[in-house]
Amino acid sequence: MASNICTRLEIAIFMVGFVCAKLVLPMCGNISEVFEYNWAPNHIISQGDQIKLTLDNVSGCGFESKKKYLFGQASVQIKLIEGDSAGTVTAFYMASEGPVHDELDFEFLGNVSGEPYLVQTNIYVNGTGNREQRHTLWFDPTLDFHTYSFFWNRHLIVYVFLVDGIPIRVFTNKEDKGLLFPRQQAMSIRGSVWNADDWATQGGKVKINWTNAPFFSTFRSFIIDARELLPETDDIMAQCGKLGRFWWDKPAFVVLNRHRSHQLKWARRKHLVYDYCKDKARFTELPRECIS
């Protein structure tokens, strides 16, 4: 049976939480038509609608969408490495190409058995990152699949990182204050698992226990609700159409509604354990985007 992935237009309160309407227009195809296994394909197992990524002492692995997108929403369900996952990182991210690339990251930092995973989010603008936040999760991400999503648009633009529909981070456009914002480069959708035991767990103090290998993270139920950009033209605004043409540009999507704002505050209060904007020891002067 062919492995399927659906690209759909979906406006739903449980995903983003701006409005209560829902429109679904599914367009389904074979997983291999949407993604390419571009790193260690012999470590990737395709099972039905799932992609299982393998890490062992030889290699990690990864995949990437064949198309690139700008504005909209991208989601996936992931079940993370079970047991002693110290030193491993499973990543779901979007990135453009080159040394001045833009990038959005979910990185799931493994831990020793019994200790919680951390999810690290990061944002690169024109090749510069160092915008990390780290959260604990309110569930065990190794027991079942959970949904992780990016949402982004272009007018009063925000990037929203969501876990099971709950926003854990918002990165706001401050171009009016002279700050760069990643909205000119289309990005592909990617996933990977890899050895990061030089930094991922307790600052690199805890290494991977290779006697537990191989390690597996499984991805499924991809939803891509985003504007595909074609390579034959560089006119970003022409391809994305007039402002308001797509659902993510509607006025209702300018800011989080009250309910989602309360969820964001809850996630920050209960689960945020590191914020680069609060790290005075790291910066002699806080980044400008950290200043309201």
Question: How far are the Cα atoms of 51, 219, 256 from residue 167, in angstroms, in the given order?
Answer: 25, 20, 9
Cα separation of 114 and 130, whole Å?
Answer: 29
Q: Which helix (H) or strand (E) is 238 found in, with range?
A: helix 236-240
| 88 located within any domain | yes
Tell me which of 29 and 113 has the higher pLDDT.
113
**Which token pair is 237?**
């605004």
Q: What is the pLDDT of residues 233-280, one digit of tens each?
A: 555 555 555 545 777 777 777 778 899 999 999 999 999 999 999 998
Which pLDDT value is given to residue 17? 38
| 194 located within any domain | yes
| 1 located within any domain | no
Q: How far is CA 109 from the centre of its chain?
A: 14
Cis peptide leading into residue 167 (ω within 30°) = no
Range of weakest confidence among 56-65, 145-154, 266-275: 145-154
Q: What is the pLDDT of residues 164-203, one digit of tens each?
A: 999 999 998 888 888 888 888 999 999 999 999 999 999 9
Band of residue 11 on the pLDDT scale cut at 50, 70, 90: very low
Q: For residue 84, is pLDDT > 60?
A: yes
Range of weakest confidence among 13-22, 109-118, 224-233: 13-22
Highest mean pLDDT among 153-167, 202-216, 245-259: 202-216
**Which token pair is 83?**
């047991």
**Which token pair is 291?**
């200043």
Q: For residue 232, is pLDDT > 90?
A: no
Which pLDDT value is given to residue 211? 97
Task: Find the domain containing 151 and state its range.
Answer: 39-290
**Which of 273, 216, 275 has its CA nearest to residue 90?**
216
Of 82, 107, 232, 285, the active-site residue reads 107
Which pLDDT value is given to residue 19? 32
Tell me which of 78 and 233 has the higher pLDDT.
78
Q: What is the pLDDT of residues 96-119, one digit of tens each?
A: 999 999 999 999 999 999 899 999
What is the phi/psi pair of residue 154, to 5°?
-120, -5
Active site residue 115: no
| 167 located within any domain | yes
CATH number, domain at 221?
A: 2.60.120.200
What average pLDDT does the segment 28-52 reach? 88
Which pLDDT value is given to residue 173? 84
| 17 located within any domain | no
Task: Look at the chain and report how many structural domains it folds into.
Answer: 1
Confidence (pTM):
0.88
Question: How far are the Cα atoms of 30, 37, 54, 218, 274 from residue 193, in angstroms, in the given order?
Answer: 22, 13, 7, 10, 22
| 22 located within any domain | no
Of 10, 36, 64, 103, the active-site residue reads 103
Tell me which of 48 and 37 has the higher pLDDT.
37
| 5 located within any domain | no
The alpha helices in 242-284, defined as continuous H runs, are 258-271
Which pLDDT value is given to residue 153? 83
Which pLDDT value is given to residue 266? 98
Band of residue 216 on the pLDDT scale cut at 50, 70, 90: very high
Which pLDDT value is given to residue 2? 43
What percent helix, strand, coil does the chain show, rounded to 5? 15, 40, 45
Which pLDDT value is given to residue 20? 26
Burial class (CB in 10 A: 0-12, 13-18, 19+), 11: buried
What average pLDDT does the segment 120-142 reach? 96
Which pLDDT value is given to residue 155? 58
Q: For residue 1, is pLDDT > 60?
A: no
**Which token pair is 33?**
């038509």
What average pLDDT does the segment 149-154 reach? 88
| 23 located within any domain | no
Are the C-beta atoms of residues 74 and 99 closer than 8 Å to each other? no
Which pLDDT value is given to residue 144? 98
> What value does the mean pLDDT of the chain take?
85
Are the C-beta atoms of residues 36 and 51 closer than 8 Å to each other? no
**Per-residue DSSP letter, 128:** B
